[in-house]
Every structure is written in structure tokens, then in C-alpha cells.
Amino acid sequence: MKGFPTTIAIDGPAASGKSTLGALLAESLGYLYFDTGVMYRAVTLAVIEGGLYVEDEQAIGELAKSIRIDVQPPSVDDGREFDVLLDDTDVTREIRKESVNEHVSTISAYAIVREEMTAQQRRIAKENKVVMVGRDIGTVVMPDADLKIFLDASVEVRAHRRYQEMINRGERPDYDAVLRSLINRDQIDTNREIAPLKPAEDAVVIHVDCLGIQQVLSKAKELVKNV
């Protein structure tokens, strides 16, 4: 391809820094930053509010078919990176509830949920110049993205990063618990039958263990220039 990329996919495991990179890169380009994980959080919130059982895959699939989720530039200057709308209701803050954290991994692994969310993610990508972040963007959601980046880091580095983020938010995390949580999330993400976490064949893999975010951003900007 020659010319400026209008669709950029950034994938990687939990706490690899892909969301931070995606937000900074989108800001520098003037693109919509879209972390697809919020869609699965929005579905999970809808499941909880609807009183559905987390194990009822069929009912959750029907719910996923019936709702519309949109991601838009932030309308409120409260630190958010974008608005998340669930059937036109702003749920940007609600999707971060602990109850959502507890169940989003299970719900996001359901095949019908991933199918429905993938369709909605593609709709949003068609409507915007976008930096889309997730775990299956380059392989499933946007296999024809102009640029694909995969961030990789050891689980220990990622656990330390997540641990520090939690401390900065005033929480009192247990490092070993954070590490176990990421190991479990990695197992779910890499071993699920539908859209497992892996780099696309034509993705550029950036190993970030020894890099700061500005160094990673510089590498990404160079990739944008050289597409």
C-alpha cells in the first residue's frame, strides 16, 4: 500500500500497553481511538442489568443481537478517551464496574457475542478513520487494515504495569493476585476456539519489555509513515 493508513489495528495481550499506544497514536493522527474491549464490557453490563445468567450463552447471544453499541469521540472533559453508548445511553463509566470486570472474560468468549460485536466494530471502522485496539483486530475484525501492530510483553512485565496502575488509582492490589489474573486471562484469550489471541501474519510485532511508551509510540509513528 502507498499512502497514509486510515485503518490501524493494534493487538496484544492484557496490560501490554496497547490501549495507551492506541490512544496516543490516534490523538497524534486525529483519528478515532477505539478500544474494542469496551464493546464486550457493554454487552456484559447489559447482561447484568437484564438479569441474565452469565452461563446462558443462548440468551446472551440473543441480547447481543438486539443491542447497538457505538464508540464516539469524548463529549465530556472528565478524562475519558471516548464515549461508549449502549442503545444511545452513555455507559462509559458504568462498564468499569467490578461486576463487569468479573464476567467480561466469560461473556466475550461466546461465539455469537464475538460475531455480533465484530459486525458492529466493522461498522464503526467504515464510518471513521480509526485506530482500533483489541485482541483479534488484525486477524478477524479488520484483516484488511492498512497497518497492523502487535504489542508483546512478558506476563511479569505486564503484571507489574497493571499493579502500578492500580496503586496509582489509590487501590491496594496484591501483586501475586494480579499476576495470576493475567496468566488466567492469557490462557482464555490464546486458547479460545473463536478468534484466539495471536499476531496476524502481516502484523509488525513490537516487543515492549524494555521500552517506554514514548519509544513504542515513536516506532508506531515510523510504521505509519512507511506504510
pLDDT tens per residue across span 207-218: 999 999 999 999
User: Per-residue pLDDT for 182 more than 60?
Assistant: yes
The domain 1-31+129-221 having CATH identifier 3.40.50.800: the answer here is no
So what's the pLDDT on residue 74? Answer: 92
Beta bridge partners of 133: 10, 35
| pLDDT given for residue 191 in this prediction | 87
Residues 114 and 30: their CA atoms lie apart, in Å, by 28
Domain spans, the chain = 1-31+129-221, 35-128
| 80 confidence band (pLDDT: 50, 70, 90) | confident
Q: What's the mean pLDDT in 151-162?
A: 95
Q: What is the mean pLDDT of residues 74-88?
A: 92
Which helix (H) or strand (E) segment is 170 a member of? none
Question: In the structure grid, which three cell numbers stand for residue 226, read together?
Answer: 512507511
Q: What is the pLDDT of residues 30-77, one digit of tens each?
A: 999 999 999 999 999 999 999 999 999 999 999 999 999 999 999 999
Domains 1-31+129-221 and 35-128 share a fold: yes
CA distance 220 to 223: 5
Amino acid at 157: V
Return the percentage of the chain with pLDDT > 90, whole number: 82
Going by DSSP bridges, is the β-strand pair 147-152/204-207 parallel, antiparallel, or unpaired? parallel
Q: How far apart are CA 118 and CA 120, in angstroms?
A: 5
Amino acid (1-letter code) at residue 86: L
Q: What share of the chain is helix, strand, coil (3-state, %, to 5)?
A: 50, 15, 35
Q: Which three cell numbers stand for residue 143?
A: 484483516
Domain 35-128, classified CATH 3.40.50.300, yes or no:
yes
Can you give the length of the chain in residues?
A: 227
Q: What is the pTM of this model?
A: 0.89
